[in-house]
Structure 1
Amino acid sequence: MRKLLTDNRRERMSRGSITLFVSMLLLVLLGLIFAGLKSMRQAAARAATASALEQGLYSVFAQYDRELFEDYGLLFLDGGYGTSGLRLDEVLRETETYAEYILDPTKNNLTGGGNLLSIRLNRENCSVTGYVLATDQENTAFRRQVCEQMKLQAGAELLKKISEGIYQDGEKADGLKKQAGTYRTEKAQEYYDRDVAEGLCRPVPSVEQSGEESEEISAEEIAEGFGGNVVPVWENPLLSYRLLRGKGLLKLVFAENESGLSRKSIGAGELLSDREHALGMGMTPSKWEGPMEKLLIQEFLIENFPCFQDGEQQKPLLYQAEYAIGGRRNDRDNLKLVLSKMQVLRAASNMIFLMTDPDKRAQADLLAAGISAGLLNPELAPVLAFAIRVAWAYGESVLDLQVLTRGGKIPMVKTAESWQLSIENIGRFTSAAGSERKSSRAGLEYRDYLRILLMGEGTDRLTGRIMDLTELNIRTHEGKESFRLDHCIDAVNIEIGTSVGTNTYTAERSYGYDM
């Protein structure tokens, strides 16, 4: 009996120890499970915090300025939100609003919703820790986006072709101006002697005179000694040339319709370059890493902004490509400055042709002989011959500008076939323009000459003037009257903090149009 009781007690104890072991094992397993669940919950909270911030940033940057993108293909967030101030608080508010959809899965969810672990995160804080504006560090972000846009728009092969063409034209233009600069008045006798040596004209006769006409030698006899006819002083084309040139370049180029030129202007304080720019903080703007930065910026200007040839448009300035070169505050002055630079280039090229073409040299020498004979001072012939070439080159350059502004073509270097102005019309090249003006089949157009002039502009200055024009043009859109390009955001860095119970989580993310 006693043995039986002992066996029963042992059996019960054995069963109890198993129960205790299983209970302890379950307790450990449950602890591991709950610890894993808590770890998963914390990981999910961290991921949700980061995802919420990323969704907020993506949603905010999806609100890029539509007018800026549609007009110029540039992606910037208008940090002013229609006002004249930089509204970083609005950027934060928008980020927080879109982040809430992940932080609180039940937000605006009619079914009650929920995430995998039913986490509802409380937003504790949200702050901007860095941002990049379009104008930061010498307009780095703007320049990068311009280059990216033009590379996409034009394509590598076309850009390479344009680059090679502009480079060659620019080098040729520089060479022409340098060569023309070597022709000087003090070398007039040397040039005349050269023509005599080549048989293009007769040598200047030695004539003794005291300022009054000699009875022994008449003007006709002096002219005959030169091999030309007498040109009376009052028909001296150089006098008429001086009077015409005094009218100003615009009156000469647009003799028929100068009154039709734009008189639009912009006042003080209307340009981006007129004021101090807002500055970003805490972030470095991404630079353009590819080649041909200046070419891309230059082509962006030519493709997106009107010039003189584009006619009337609803823009604050009509001659905007000319503004990028001239930098003046009104269309008329910008056009005048650009045409003056084109005229210098064309006159240089024309002068070289007149100094090298035998037929034109002979005509200039003959006319100079006649004028000097009429003045009873044949020793003036060399100087007059050089002066005639200068006046002739200038008159031809005015005709060149008339052709270019009317949509024609003018070659960089003239030939006898492409030459326009006859020597007898030097002093009346405006009235004779209608009959002598002609466009060449092969040559450069007005925009091509603009490209050559743009090569002489620094990249920083050119970019700044493009930004002036961009801001002015965007302000013409309804609701964009206060638009400021230095409030346009390219990238931003935001930090957010959340909590669940006693646990807190933070996340920091950067987002921008260069990422």
Structure 2
Amino acid sequence: MRGSITIFATMLLMLVSQFLFTVLEAGRNLTLTNIACMNSEAVAESVFAQYCRPLWDEYHLLAYDAGSDAMGNVDIENVKSYMKKLTTDNFKISDSGAFAGGTIVNGTSMLRLSMDELESMKYVLMTDDGGDVYTNAVVSYMKKNIGYETVKNLYSQYSSLNENKSAGEYDDSKIDSALKALKDNAAHEGGGKSIARSSPPRAYSAHLSVSKTKQTSESKAESTEGGNAIENPLVKVQKVKASGILSQVVDESTVSGNSIDTSARVSGRSLHKGTGGWSESGDDWYAKVLMQQYILTYMSCYTDTNPNHALNYEVEYIIGGRASDKDNLKIVIAEILALRAAANMAYLAGSASKQAQAMALAAIIGGITLTPEVIEGVEKGILAAWAFCESVLDLRALLDGDKIPLIKSDTSWTSSLYGMTSMLTGQVKAKSSNEGIGYKSYLGMLLFTKSMKNIAYRSMDVQEATVRMTGAHESFRMDNAICELNADVSYKYHGIFLCFVNLLDGADNEYTIKNKAKYSYYGR
């Protein structure tokens, strides 16, 4: 049987075929565009899936360690190469650049792309924008782990503690002034010693009888009460202050000897810069409390050390900024001592009975030859010494894990005016109270007074040092740690169906798809 077809039918068939092939290519193009978008997202996620594991395990922060190139800069070219390699693997492209399989008849997928170029790559480093990137990373994580109302209550608590701190007044120079007044009086009375009898107040006459012997104003005043000597607390407190407070509140042999290299820390060196920028700012009360709680939760301190961290007292380092644990502990102890001394002085200022005791001891130590004004100055010095002594006992309790009331009462007060020397010399500590606040709360109060920039950079100091202790991360740098990336991606592919459309003979059969590859750990 012989068949025939008209010229018109032939032309019509050709036109219909060309239309169908064009529609097929258009559909393929749309599918490839979607696949290109998915591949860009996939390769970006694959890069960031290689987060720095020690940084997450120890501090719950996500960052990709890009490493350094031969010039010491962020090795962003390595990131590009890795993304291209992933694309090659995804589309099964051979080393020669050809697609595996070679032809359609051999089963090659028609959805084939090659990543041509990665341009305008922008990336954000943890250390960028004066610590704002790091702060926002911490805030982003903590928002998922602590409720707004809890943060608000903590802010009110720390604001109140701060107000109490500002309202308190403690002037330890009153101790020195009182001793100087006694010394001057002793020198005036003769030979450096006071020869006058002491004259205790009437309230104490039934208990104290002052001897007629000479009194050494710099050491102690004599009393016939049981034949015991009434010691001058001013002298003991002055000696304690001169010898250093650390040995008075902890056993120095148990203090950590860890330290970090301050010459190479994040807060002290020239840092690499990212290209992306970070427009948000985390420097407000909400961010500050979240940052503070993050540090208290994941950083080590004197009462909660971590053997896996470079420093045992990381929170103390963030507050003090010194290289060694011991030096930072000294700074923190001195700051807490000042807070406690001010609070204890506030209690003494409102206690008539303890002021009466201080006035009585001032009269005993000074004797009857001192003027009322000088006696009053000695009394203030004694009150300051008493507040100092109670504060030392407070610190011993805090460092032992106990809680103490912010403002003392008659029942919670521990030290006595007579016997202060034995208390300072021994291991007596303040009474514990379930309603009080502990050592970490005082660390939180001190953190609350620091700038967000210092907190951020010093936090990165200790985290970098800790990560470098782990295998394969010895050269880790926080300013090589990428937390966000954005790049323009170009893909190339060749047409398949349009080769059957003779209207396009001689046309370029290579096409380009452009989109973006982007990823951020913190969901901006």
- TM-score w.r.t. the length of structure 1 is 0.81
- Cα distance change of structure 1 residues 477 and 371 upon mapping to structure 2, 3 Å threshold: same
The residue correspondences of 1:333-372 to structure 2 (distance < 5 A) are 333-372=327-366
Stretch of structure 1 that moved more, 264-273 or 244-253: 264-273
What do residues 267-314 of structure 1 show as CA deviations (whole Å, max 9, x unaligned)? 243311221111111454655599710001111110001101124624
Q: Which residue in 2 is equivalent to 1:274?
A: 268
Q: Determine the C-alpha separation between the residues in 2 that align with 1:282 and 1:461.
A: 22
Counterpart pick for 1:126 among 118, 133, 141: 118
Deviation at 1:225, TM superposition (A): 7.4
Amino acid at match of 2:47: V
Q: Which residue in 2 is equivalent to 1:310?
A: 304
Q: Which residue in 2 is equivalent to 1:69?
A: 56
What do residues 63-120 of structure 1 show as CA deviations (whole Å, max 9, x unaligned)? 22222222222221111189975221221122112222444479789996543xx143
Q: Determine the C-alpha separation between the residues in 2 that align with 1:112 and 1:358.
A: 101
Amino acid at match of 1:415: S
Deviation at 1:153, TM superposition (A): 2.2
Counterpart pick for 1:420 among 414, 418, 421: 414
Q: Determine the C-alpha separation between the residues in 1 that align with 2:101 and 2:283.
A: 46
Q: Does 2:506 correspond to 1:513?
A: no
Q: Determine the C-alpha separation between the residues in 1 that align with 2:188 and 2:264.
A: 65
Counterpart pick for 2:440 among 410, 431, 447: 447
Stretch of structure 1 that moved more, 99-108 or 498-507: 99-108
Deviation at 1:352, TM superposition (A): 1.5
Q: Determine the C-alpha separation between the residues in 2 that align with 1:210 and 1:267.
A: 55
Deviation at 1:249, TM superposition (A): 0.8
Deviation at 1:160, TM superposition (A): 3.3
Q: Determine the C-alpha separation between the residues in 2 that align with 1:66 and 1:386.
A: 57
Q: Which residue in 2 is equivalent to 1:9?
A: none
Asked if the contact 1:140/1:287 (under 8 Å) is kept, the reply is yes
- Cα distance change of structure 1 residues 353 and 498 upon mapping to structure 2, 3 Å threshold: closer
Q: Which residue in 2 is equivalent to 1:456?
A: 449
The residue correspondences of 1:97-136 to structure 2 (distance < 5 A) are 97-104=85-92, 114-115=108-109, 118-127=110-119, 129-136=121-128
Asked if the contact 2:348/2:355 (under 8 Å) is kept, the reply is yes
Counterpart pick for 1:297 among 271, 286, 291: 291
Q: Determine the C-alpha separation between the residues in 2 that align with 1:112 and 1:334.
A: 70
Q: Which residue in 2 is equivalent to 1:471?
A: 464
Amino acid at match of 1:56: V
Q: Determine the C-alpha separation between the residues in 2 that align with 1:429 and 1:396.
A: 9
Q: Does 2:144 correspond to 1:139?
A: no
Stretch of structure 1 that moved more, 297-306 or 487-496: 487-496
Q: Determine the C-alpha separation between the residues in 2 that align with 1:367 and 1:384.
A: 9
Q: Does 2:425 correspond to 1:431?
A: yes
- Cα distance change of structure 1 residues 366 and 132 upon mapping to structure 2, 3 Å threshold: same
Q: Which residue in 1 is equivalent to 2:235?
A: 239
Q: Does 2:67 correspond to 1:80?
A: yes
Q: Determine the C-alpha separation between the residues in 1 that align with 2:284 and 2:235.
A: 55
Deviation at 1:263, TM superposition (A): 2.1
Deviation at 1:21, TM superposition (A): 3.7
Asked if the contact 1:475/1:481 (under 8 Å) is kept, the reply is yes
Q: Which residue in 2 is equivalent to 1:158?
A: 150
Deviation at 1:318, TM superposition (A): 1.1
- Cα distance change of structure 1 residues 112 and 230 upon mapping to structure 2, 3 Å threshold: farther
Q: Which residue in 2 is equivalent to 1:148?
A: 140
Name the SS for the 1:420 alignment partner: coil
What do residues 187-220 of structure 1 show as CA deviations (whole Å, max 9, x unaligned)? 99xxxxxxxxxxxxxxxxxx9x97359xxxx844
Q: Which runs of 5+ in 1 are unaligned?
A: 1-15, 189-206
Name the SS for the 1:269 alignment partner: helix
Stretch of structure 1 that moved more, 384-393 or 148-157: 148-157
Deviation at 1:463, TM superposition (A): 1.0
Q: Which residue in 1 is equivalent to 2:246?
A: 250
Q: Which residue in 1 is equivalent to 2:500?
A: none
Identical-residue share of aligned pairs (%): 28
- Cα distance change of structure 1 residues 27 and 504 upon mapping to structure 2, 3 Å threshold: closer
Q: Determine the C-alpha separation between the residues in 2 that align with 1:273 and 1:158.
A: 31
What do residues 123-168 of structure 1 show as CA deviations (whole Å, max 9, x unaligned)? 4333452111111112333212211222222333433333332232
Name the SS for the 1:497 alignment partner: strand
The residue correspondences of 1:404-419 to structure 2 (distance < 5 A) are 404-419=398-413
Q: Determine the C-alpha separation between the residues in 1 that align with 2:202 and 2:114.
A: 107
Q: Does 2:47 correspond to 1:60?
A: yes
Q: Determine the C-alpha separation between the residues in 1 that align with 2:39 and 2:176.
A: 79
Q: Determine the C-alpha separation between the residues in 1 that align with 2:304 and 2:175.
A: 41
Amino acid at match of 1:508: N
Asked if the contact 1:136/1:279 (under 8 Å) is kept, the reply is yes
Stretch of structure 1 that moved more, 330-339 or 54-63: 54-63
Q: Which residue in 2 is equivalent to 1:260?
A: 254
- Cα distance change of structure 1 residues 140 and 363 upon mapping to structure 2, 3 Å threshold: same
Amino acid at match of 2:37: A
- TM-score w.r.t. the length of structure 2 is 0.80
Q: Does 2:3 correspond to 1:25?
A: no
Q: Determine the C-alpha separation between the residues in 2 that align with 1:490 and 1:183.
A: 51
- Cα distance change of structure 1 residues 260 and 182 upon mapping to structure 2, 3 Å threshold: closer
Which structure's CA Rg is the greater one?
A: 1
Amino acid at match of 1:230: V
What do residues 353-400 of structure 1 show as CA deviations (whole Å, max 9, x unaligned)? 1122011011001111111217x4354321111111111111111111
Stretch of structure 1 that moved more, 378-387 or 39-48: 39-48
What do residues 229-253 of structure 1 show as CA deviations (whole Å, max 9, x unaligned)? 4373341332233223211111222
- Cα distance change of structure 1 residues 185 and 56 upon mapping to structure 2, 3 Å threshold: closer
Q: Which residue in 2 is equivalent to 1:497?
A: 490
- Cα distance change of structure 1 residues 473 and 187 upon mapping to structure 2, 3 Å threshold: closer
Amino acid at match of 1:154: I
Q: Does 2:164 correspond to 1:172?
A: yes
Q: Which runs of 5+ in 2 are unaligned?
A: 179-184, 221-231, 495-508
Counterpart pick for 1:49 among 24, 27, 36: 36
Q: Determine the C-alpha separation between the residues in 2 that align with 1:452 and 1:73.
A: 23
Asked if the contact 1:491/1:512 (under 8 Å) is kept, the reply is yes
Q: Determine the C-alpha separation between the residues in 1 that align with 2:266 and 2:119.
A: 28
**RMSD (Å) for aligned C-alpha atoms:** 3.5
Q: Determine the C-alpha separation between the residues in 1 that align with 2:239 and 2:283.
A: 54
Stretch of structure 1 that moved more, 34-43 or 132-141: 34-43
- Cα distance change of structure 1 residues 212 and 278 upon mapping to structure 2, 3 Å threshold: closer
Q: Determine the C-alpha separation between the residues in 2 that align with 1:76 and 1:277.
A: 16
Q: Does 2:202 correspond to 1:230?
A: no
Q: Determine the C-alpha separation between the residues in 2 that align with 1:440 and 1:21.
A: 103
Counterpart pick for 2:83 among 70, 92, 95: 95
